[in-house]
Structure 1
Amino acid sequence: MREALIVWGGWPGHEPEQCAAIVAGMLRDEGFQVHLDNSTRAFASPQLSTMSLVVPIFTMSKIEKDEVSNLSKAVREGTGLAGFHGGMGDAFRDAVEYQFMCGGQWVAHPGNIIDYRVTVTRPDDPVMQGIGDFDYHSEQYYMHVDPSNEVLATTTFSGEHAPWIKGVVMPVVWKRRHGQGRVFYSSLGHVAKEFDVPQMRTILRRGMVWAARE
């Protein structure tokens, strides 16, 4: 049986505990044995390299050098990494090794909670299969992103809340490799209620399964 580790904590506004419980249920439905931890010390565990998948849900906060080094090593050796929104894309702001692995870092969400459009750019990819473009109500993440990411969906900024970024096309969903490991990220999912949106939930579920080591 594949094993997954969910590590949750950090800024409470992203409802990490509630989101971790939802993600745990999704992974159990996919046949994973799920472990949950609410301390970044879990990233330093020697057992990390035996996991099929690690899901960080830990907005902001701090990760120690031995923790991020062990996590990066495990992923380079084949452990999958997958996550969403600030729980993965705005975790550990001072840890560039972590950002290098994830393929991006949040920097702004102009207008805060707004309506925006998600454009599917890779409808042929199994993660996006059967999902067309859709409207979304949440934070529209502006991110610094790695050009090596394989982008599956994007959003375009209107410029209403920051005129200088009008027309900027920003990745929303991507896949990448970090050594032997598969990495998946979706910027959707500000709070637990957003898991009620079928597209958000399906994209994350499929992305986690794709990232997990067999």
Structure 2
Amino acid sequence: MPAAKQKRILLLYGGWRGHSPKRFADFALTKLLTEYDVTCSESLRALRRPYLDGFECLLPIWTFGKLSDKQQNALLEAVAGGLGYVGWHGNASSFLECRPHKFMLGGQFVGHPGGNHIKYPVRFLNNDPLVKGLKDVTVRSEQYYLLVDPAVKVLAASPMHGGDQRWLKGVTMPMAWKKKWGRGRVFYCALGHTVDVLDTPPVTTLLKRALAWACRNSSQKF
């Protein structure tokens, strides 16, 4: 019996160097994508059709940047057509002038009160297959404050530390979610300011599950 064909993933990395895109791309290649046929690109010119239609999933490691109208339309149409989309951390601060990207992703970064080294718990919320059996984790990192689409299915959350903005203390903030965009499946995780946070076993497992779930024509239920 012939081996199953590997699913193709486009690993797109670049943008703001403060988020170390190359380091995270190396992490993805060695820890998340070993069972996939991976194409790497450091250029937003990869966001074009029909090129995107040749992949099952897009993994964009990209903060800030600007999309042309053509790139924006190609991306959103490809995802609506079934291309999976898995993003983390700075992806909620990508393409700030592109409101449709925020709509598709399901959220937007607006700040990380308390700075870069807040200690906080991340709790996995339900028995969704993406988080089932995962143990809650405590991380020391940026704690993102996000504006979140009420249509997402929240998979993990954290009580806000708040820092100097004390009125935010205790607010429950989504840390990971999944959603639909047309026929496409979209996943986002707010963790990932540094590689060590993503390299925490429960978080790595979550990302692996998310990639398998998001891929075009995945057999997994939504």
TM-score bucket of the superposed structures, by smaller chain: over 0.9
* CA RMSD, 1 decimal: 1.3
Q: Which whole-Å CA distance do the structure 1 matches of 2:94 and 2:162 have between them?
A: 26
Deviation at 1:165, TM superposition (A): 1.3
Structure 1 residue ranges, 4+ long, deviating more than 6 angstroms after superposition: none
The residue type equivalent to 1:72 in the other structure is L
Q: How many residues align?
A: 211
Q: Which whole-Å CA distance do the structure 1 matches of 2:32 and 2:202 have between them?
A: 17
The residue type equivalent to 1:120 in the other structure is F
- SS of residue paired to 2:140: strand
What is aligned with 1:202?
Answer: 205
Q: How does 1:133-144 map to 2 (within 5 A)?
A: 133-144=136-147
Which residue of the other structure, out of 44, 63, 66, is the alignment partner of 1:62? Answer: 66
Cα deviation, 1:86-126, whole Å, max 9, x if unaligned, reads 0x21111110011111000111001122101112111x111
The residue type equivalent to 1:53 in the other structure is C
Q: Which whole-Å CA distance do the structure 2 matches of 1:48 and 1:70 have between them?
A: 8
Deviation at 1:141, TM superposition (A): 0.5
8 Å CA contact retained: 1:41, 1:67 = yes
The residue type equivalent to 1:20 in the other structure is A
**Are 2:185 and 1:182 aligned?**
yes
Q: How does 1:68-87 map to 2 (within 5 A)?
A: 68-86=72-90
Q: Which whole-Å CA distance do the structure 2 matches of 1:25 and 1:72 have between them?
A: 28
What is aligned with 2:42?
Answer: 38
Unaligned runs of 5+ in 1: none
Matched-pair identity in %: 38
Unaligned runs of 5+ in 2: 1-5, 218-222
Question: For structure 1, which segment, 162-171 or 173-182, has the greater mean C-alpha deviation from structure 2 after superposition?
Answer: 162-171
The residue type equivalent to 2:74 in the other structure is N
- SS of residue paired to 1:185: strand
Cα deviation, 1:161-186, whole Å, max 9, x if unaligned, reads 31121221110010000000000111
Which residue of the other structure, out of 15, 21, 30, is the alignment partner of 1:25? Answer: 30
Q: Which whole-Å CA distance do the structure 1 matches of 2:151 and 2:187 have between them?
A: 13
Q: Which whole-Å CA distance do the structure 1 matches of 2:29 and 2:205 have between them?
A: 14
Deviation at 1:197, TM superposition (A): 1.4
